[in-house]
A and B are shown apart, each in its own frame.
Chain A
Amino acid sequence: MFYEKSPGMFRTLVRRNSRRNRKENSLFFLSLLISIIAFYIVLSLSSQDVMLFLQKMESDAVNKLMAMIPLFYGMTLIILFFLIYYAGSFQMERRSHEFGMYLMFGLRRPKLFLLLLAEDFSGSVLALVIGIPVAVLISELTSLVTAKVVGLGIIGHQSSFSLRAVLWTAVGFLLIKSAAFLVLSGKIVRQEVGSLLLDTPKGVKKQKPAAVYLLSLLVGLVCLTAAFGMAAGGISWSQIDKMGYTLALGLLGTAFLFYGLRFAMDFLARRGNRASLSADPRRVKEDCSFQNLQVFDFRQLEETVIHHSGAMAVSFLLILAALCCFGSGVAIARDNNWSKDHVLDYTFSDEAENEKTVLADRGLDTYFSSLFEMKVGHIRTTEDYEHAFQMETVMDALAGLPESYAREILLNNLGYATAPRLISLTGYNMLLDAAGLPVLKLEKGEAGVYIDPEFTDDERTRILNEILSKEPEAVLDGTAIRLTGEVQTTALVTDRMLTLSFALILPDEQFEYYTQGDYSVYLNGILGNEAVEGKSLLQAISAMNQKLDEAGLPYESYLQNMGRQLFYTVASSYLTIYLAIIFLVVANTVIGVQFLMGQQKAGRRYRTLVRLGADYGTLCRSAARQINWYFGIPVVLAAIASLFGERALLTGLLSFEMRESIPEMIRLSVPMLLLLFAVEYLYIMLVRRTSARYLLTLMEPEREE
């Protein structure tokens, strides 16, 4: 055979075939690019600006995350292997006739294998050459955008480029690529020439009565509704077994739904028949672009639904998962409250020394616009310190309320509040003042209630305030005391040096008495204007931290507080969005490849249509319509399901305020759906182009000569 004799010919064939493959199967090439980008993005996560910044603050958590990267890398490896394998199998199937011809002409099998290998390799190299710069660019862009979004001006941008990441990307990519190649080409090379040459038309499976499918469709809908109902109602989140039921119900519903979908398709096909029956002939003639081949389209769809209802269900689930991941990623990103009620920049606490003098000694006190002491101590007036405090009235009032989740928690938490810490009023009022809140006025015999924001939420605070408004009486070390004012929830220190689930705020005199002068002092500081001038607050705090580190003073800064929240926000939203994109890509590739394979298998039918007088435009329009439906069914179903799914997820994941606000839901869903439609549009166009190219080859093969 010619290319066995001349290596030049072999090379030309490789080059030509590779170029044609890329053109004809852009879907496959796109999956390759996406794989490369995905690998690189996972691997370069540690060199992102935000991560570099957080490394300093929350090195533990960041390190934990980084330790998980190989896991993510491995998972990506597996998912993308299937992606490449699937897209590649289409490529191979499309060319199987060609391979059969090569073998017929006397190309030996090892040589065919070599040919495929060479083609595959040149494709991979090109994908890497294009993919890596794109990946670096995208990673760089994400780095910049996240840094901007979270307001990090501090460290200045550092390139996220990492040679290690590039290397591992190439390794991982080539690994899955060659694994997929080996499996696929092994299949091809081992096949008989005859079966390669065969254009296998699909048989029509035996049909069950239509009622079976209708029933399955209905059962599917009922199951899905029940599952979403359980999730959105919050039932599924309470116990693991309930969650299992929900999941099982959802999966079962999906399977039934897609199995029963052929009923809908058959119905549509038959309705298409009737529509053309009843339509006004003159009008139809003019609208022919609408009517042409409608029945054929639905029969084609029906067939794919019949043969691939499993794969369609999987695509649906993947898209749904992608949407939910994306939605919760965005929700988590928005649900941060670290910038909202931040008052204090610093808290110092040192048992041995007086921090104020130390600061003054180093000339650091001038950087603060406000420095005040927060005094907190235990009840020291009684031996029975464990049971120094009772508030029966409050508990009774709580118990008298209608049952609710918030009430349960309050009953539980407050039941243990028999030894509250005490807070002196002056220090707390300075805090309130700094926060711009009205100060608290307490008489002798009165006390305010303090609960750390971590231990309450809007609903619980509301319930307590209602009870406190009646100024209930409590007993502190045998003395009656009235609880007044609203529940105080302004954090006592800047971060986590002190978190109290329940404390009493007492006038200074009473405070001194009950603590017997034995208490801790926390020095809170708020940076002054001069210190912050011209910089972002984060930069100012960073600079100050450096000075304090030199002074060797133990301190806690807002940066830590923020850093932690930022870390969880960034890490979880980053990863969920990443997963969302991967799922979306895989689902779309599966749908696209499946359509194209189906079309290829139906090639004979299209040929017949051509013989019956179908022109290219008609065929392309018919294919486009089928593609719209084919993508549309899982996508639209997933979009609808995601609206419920999102609601359910929010119930499980997010804070109370987020859950309840409808505008927030809409704000979440809109970008989610926009992203979905953008991606779908891209894929639909891509598949249409590939399909149009294929149809063109069917149009006039014999007339071309």
Chain B
Amino acid sequence: MENIRTENILEIDFLSKYYGGKSQNQTKALDGVTFQVLEGEFLGIMGSSGSGKSTLLNCIAAVIRPTAGKIALRGAQIQDMEGKELAEYRGKKIGYLFQNFELLDNLTGRENILLPLSLHGISEKESRERLRQLADYLEIADVLDKFPAQMSGGQKQRVAAARALIMKPELVLADEPTGALDSRNAKVLMEKLSGLNRDENATILMVTHDSGAASYCRRILFIRDGRIIHELRRDTPEETQQMFHGRILKVMAQMGGGSENVL
């Protein structure tokens, strides 16, 4: 992979987000964050609670308007987008995976997955093949006609993943996708995600507390108090996942004086 030159899909420049106006109890949730994401990259973001991870992801997802700085997805500035353009961006350019899935509980699995198509008025026909592929790959074909209440947590998150991927987004954002899953289901999900990253060249940006989940990434940014303080890169193919996991744990220990504090 290293020998192929890939281009930047996402560029973040001096991104800041302050809460609480100009008063003395202002929170700098993000304080001048700069980094790039390459096409096809699987990037992890780690940090202690309140360090600004969700804020970062939400800024990229255009749910929060940053106080300063620039976000460009394939060169398109998104911090100034509004109305229809914004909706198109949210719906078509990015896919979002939530910690608590956010499936609509009155829609079947299939209907949930197809919801983005329905929103953007795209015929299902075009995506029927893709739906089948995704369902097969994510092993959810037999729950497609069930309602979320009838699915397990792991199935729900995989259905949510299919929903995030159905539109072939440029970028998949995931905010602690394994946060509500047990370790076995978390492992399945991470395997599927990294498989999609590998096979489909899907670009994934994932926030996580879980060092195990993080070990599937190829690069990890550590943030604290709204700033990037460290970066880890997995040396593929020499470094195994276990070795990378070990390095992650070491950094976490150094940063927070023990992984308990970080988690």
Query: When A273-B110, A702-B63 are in contact, do A618 and B125 touch as well, CB less than 8 Å?
Result: no
Minimum CB–CB distance from B133 to chain A (whole Å) comes to 17
C-alpha gap A279/B62 in the complex (Å) = 32
Q: Is the CB–CB distance between B91 and A612 below 8 Å?
A: yes
Partner of B90, one of A295, A604, A612: A612
Q: Does A402 contact B (CB under 8 A)?
A: no
User: Which residues 265-319 of A have a CB within 8 angstroms of B?
Assistant: 269, 273, 276-281, 284-285, 287-289, 291-296, 299-300, 302-303
Interface residues on chain B, size class: 35 or more
C-alpha gap A539/B228 in the complex (Å) = 96
Q: Is the CB–CB distance between A613 and B91 below 8 Å?
A: yes
Q: Does B61 contact A (CB under 8 A)?
A: yes
Q: Is the CB–CB distance between A613 and B19 below 8 Å?
A: no
C-alpha gap A280/B107 in the complex (Å) = 24
C-alpha gap A610/B119 in the complex (Å) = 10
User: Which residues 85-133 of B have a CB within 8 angstroms of A?
Assistant: 86-92, 96, 98, 102, 104-107, 110-111, 114-126, 128
B residues near A609, Cβ cutoff 8 Å: 104, 115, 119
Minimum CB–CB distance from B90 to chain A (whole Å) comes to 4
Q: Does B263 contact A (CB under 8 A)?
A: no
Interface residues on chain A, size class: 35 or more
C-alpha gap A289/B118 in the complex (Å) = 10
Q: Does B65 contact A (CB under 8 A)?
A: yes
C-alpha gap A284/B125 in the complex (Å) = 11
Query: When A299-B104, A605-B104 are in contact, do A611 and B63 touch as well, CB less than 8 Å?
Result: yes
Partner of B105, one of A203, A292, A613, A615: A203
Query: When A278-B125, A614-B91 are in contact, do A608 and B104 touch as well, CB less than 8 Å?
Result: yes
Q: Is the CB–CB distance between A611 and B121 below 8 Å?
A: no
Q: Does A192 contact B (CB under 8 A)?
A: no
Q: Does B184 contact A (CB under 8 A)?
A: no
The residue on A at minimum CB distance from B86 is A615
Partner of A613, one of B65, B87, B110, B148: B87
C-alpha gap A56/B91 in the complex (Å) = 74
Q: Does B75 contact A (CB under 8 A)?
A: no
Q: Does B211 contact A (CB under 8 A)?
A: no
A residues near B63, Cβ cutoff 8 Å: 611, 702-703
Minimum CB–CB distance from B110 to chain A (whole Å) comes to 7
C-alpha gap A617/B149 in the complex (Å) = 30
Minimum CB–CB distance from A605 to chain B (whole Å) comes to 5
Interface of chain B: mostly helix, strand, loop or mixed: helix
Q: Does B64 contact A (CB under 8 A)?
A: yes
The residue on A at minimum CB distance from B19 is A705
Q: Does B147 contact A (CB under 8 A)?
A: yes
Minimum CB–CB distance from A278 to chain B (whole Å) comes to 7
Q: Does B241 contact A (CB under 8 A)?
A: no
User: Which residues 138-186 of A have a CB within 8 angstroms of B?
Assistant: none
Q: Does A201 contact B (CB under 8 A)?
A: yes
Residue with the highest number of chain A CB atoms closer than 10 Å, among B61, B90, B120, B148: B120
Residue with the highest number of chain A CB atoms closer than 10 Å, among B84, B116, B118: B118
Query: When A288-B120, A288-B121 are in contact, do A299 and B106 touch as well, CB less than 8 Å?
Result: yes
Q: Is the CB–CB distance between B91 and A705 below 8 Å?
A: no
B residues near A616, Cβ cutoff 8 Å: 83
Q: Does A360 contact B (CB under 8 A)?
A: no
Q: Does A204 contact B (CB under 8 A)?
A: yes
B residues near A280, Cβ cutoff 8 Å: 123
C-alpha gap A287/B120 in the complex (Å) = 10
B residues near A284, Cβ cutoff 8 Å: 121-123
Q: Is the CB–CB distance between A294 and B118 below 8 Å?
A: yes
B residues near A705, Cβ cutoff 8 Å: 19, 64-65
Interface bits A402-444 vs B (CB < 8 Å: 1, else 0): 0000000000000000000000000000000000000000000
Partner of B118, one of A295, A604, A605: A295
Q: Is the CB–CB distance between A204 and B122 below 8 Å?
A: no
B residues near A604, Cβ cutoff 8 Å: 102
Q: Is the CB–CB distance between B118 and A291 below 8 Å?
A: yes
Q: Is the CB–CB distance between B107 and A295 below 8 Å?
A: yes
Partner of B121, one of A291, A295, A302: A291
User: Which residues 37-92 of B have a CB within 8 angstroms of A?
Assistant: 58, 61-65, 83-84, 86-92
Q: Is the CB–CB distance between B90 and A611 below 8 Å?
A: yes
A residues near B107, Cβ cutoff 8 Å: 295-296, 299
Q: Is the CB–CB distance between B105 and A277 below 8 Å?
A: no
User: Which residues 127-163 of B have a CB within 8 angstroms of A?
Assistant: 128, 147-149, 163
Partner of A615, one of B87, B92, B116, B147: B87
User: Which residues 594-638 of A have a CB within 8 angstroms of B?
Assistant: 602, 604-605, 608-618
User: Which residues 156-213 of B have a CB within 8 angstroms of A?
Assistant: 163
B residues near A299, Cβ cutoff 8 Å: 104, 106-107, 111
B residues near A292, Cβ cutoff 8 Å: 118-121
A residues near B88, Cβ cutoff 8 Å: 613
Q: Is the CB–CB distance between B147 and A204 below 8 Å?
A: yes
A residues near B110, Cβ cutoff 8 Å: 273
The residue on B at minimum CB distance from A701 is B63
C-alpha gap A613/B92 in the complex (Å) = 7
Residue with the highest number of chain A CB atoms closer than 10 Å, among B65, B86, B105, B121: B121
Q: Is the CB–CB distance between A287 and B121 below 8 Å?
A: yes
C-alpha gap A703/B78 in the complex (Å) = 13
Minimum CB–CB distance from A332 to chain B (whole Å) comes to 47
Q: Is the CB–CB distance between A273 and B119 below 8 Å?
A: no
C-alpha gap A288/B148 in the complex (Å) = 27
A residues near B83, Cβ cutoff 8 Å: 615-616
B residues near A602, Cβ cutoff 8 Å: 106
Query: When A618-B87, A703-B63, A705-B64 are in contact, do A612 and B115 touch as well, CB less than 8 Å?
Result: yes
Query: When A204-B105, A703-B65 are in contact, do A277 and B121 touch as well, CB less than 8 Å?
Result: no
B residues near A613, Cβ cutoff 8 Å: 87-92, 116, 119-120
A residues near B125, Cβ cutoff 8 Å: 277-279, 281
The residue on B at minimum CB distance from A297 is B118
C-alpha gap A281/B126 in the complex (Å) = 7
The residue on B at minimum CB distance from A615 is B87
Query: When A276-B117, A615-B87, A703-B65 are in contact, do A281 and B106 touch as well, CB less than 8 Å?
Result: no
Q: Is the CB–CB distance between A204 and B149 below 8 Å?
A: yes
Q: Is the CB–CB distance between A615 and B118 below 8 Å?
A: no
C-alpha gap A605/B114 in the complex (Å) = 15
Question: What are some 23 contacts across the A-B interface (CB < 8 A)?
Answer: A277-B123, A277-B125, A277-B128, A281-B122, A281-B123, A284-B123, A285-B121, A285-B123, A291-B118, A294-B118, A295-B115, A296-B111, A300-B106, A604-B102, A605-B105, A608-B102, A609-B115, A610-B90, A612-B91, A612-B119, A613-B87, A703-B64, A705-B19
Known: A293-B115, A613-B92, A618-B119. 12 other contacts (CB 8 A): A204-B148, A273-B124, A279-B123, A284-B123, A285-B122, A285-B123, A295-B115, A295-B118, A612-B96, A612-B119, A615-B86, A617-B84
List the 7 shortest-distance A-B pairs measured between CB atoms, nearest first.
Answer: A613-B91, A288-B121, A615-B87, A281-B123, A613-B90, A703-B65, A608-B102
